[in-house]
Amino acid sequence: MFGGSIQATPAGSISSVSPDEKLHALSLTRFHFMTLKEFHSHLFSGDSVSTSIPDYQAFILNTGLNAFLASGERETMLLEALRQNKGVHLRFKAPMQTSEYQIAPYPGREIAFQLQPEVREVAITVDIQPLLDGPIAFKIKIQKGNDTFDYNVNWSGELVF
């Protein structure tokens, strides 16, 4: 789907970037960064963006975007992704409730056991591809197991269907 991906790495693991290079990356990616922050703020605001995305997908996007936006290397990664026409690749695990239940001891005296939904950790991949010269600022792809969800985000931070 995307031209490729750049693995998101922990802060400081990108080869040493000088302050001038960071400033250059910040100046070139500021509009992309502002758009991504705007989209992120819309996820749980109750507007059309948040109501058009199922809650679990919004949770996944929120988790991935929190990690990316909090990274000290976000501008450098965005600039590198733009230069290479690739996406920033985020991998993490998220809890997912299954349709199965398990019997668990209950801490109170009235009930001996309780049924609880089984929760498993699921591998998640989020690809964020910044784009240039068009009405779409980002293509975002979520992959959860065999399920794939694609989103296009315009320069106002809104989903485009």
Instruction: Give the amino acid at 85.
Output: N
pLDDT per residue as tens digits for the range 39-87: 999 887 766 655 688 888 988 999 999 999 998 888 888 888 888 999 9
With beta carbons less than 8 A apart as the criterion, state whether 42 and 61 touch: no
In this predicted structure, what is the pLDDT of residue 47? 67
Distance CA 74, CA 11 (A): 9
* Tokens 């919004």, located at residue: 58
Q: pLDDT value at position 6?
A: 41
pLDDT at 88: 93
pLDDT digits (tens, 9 = 90+) for 114-151: 788 888 899 999 999 999 889 999 999 999 988 999 99
Domain span at residue 109 reads 5-10+17-160
Q: Decide if pLDDT at 17 tops 70.
A: no
| DSSP codes of every residue in 3-72 | S-EEE---TT-SS---HHHHHHHHHHHHHHHHHHHHHHHHTTSSSHHHHHS-HHHHHHHHHHHHHHHH-T
pLDDT at 97 > cutoff 50 = yes
Between 105 and 100, where is the model more confident? 100
pTM of the entire predicted model: 0.74
Banded model confidence at residue 3, pLDDT cuts 50, 70, 90: very low
The pairing of beta strand 87-105 with beta strand 113-130: antiparallel
Predicted pLDDT of residue 5: 42
Confidence bin at 14 (pLDDT 50/70/90):
very low
Are 129 and 158 contacting, i.e. CB atoms less than 8 angstroms apart? Answer: no
Q: How many CA atoms lie within 13 A of 106 on its CB side?
A: 10
Structural domain count of the chain: 1
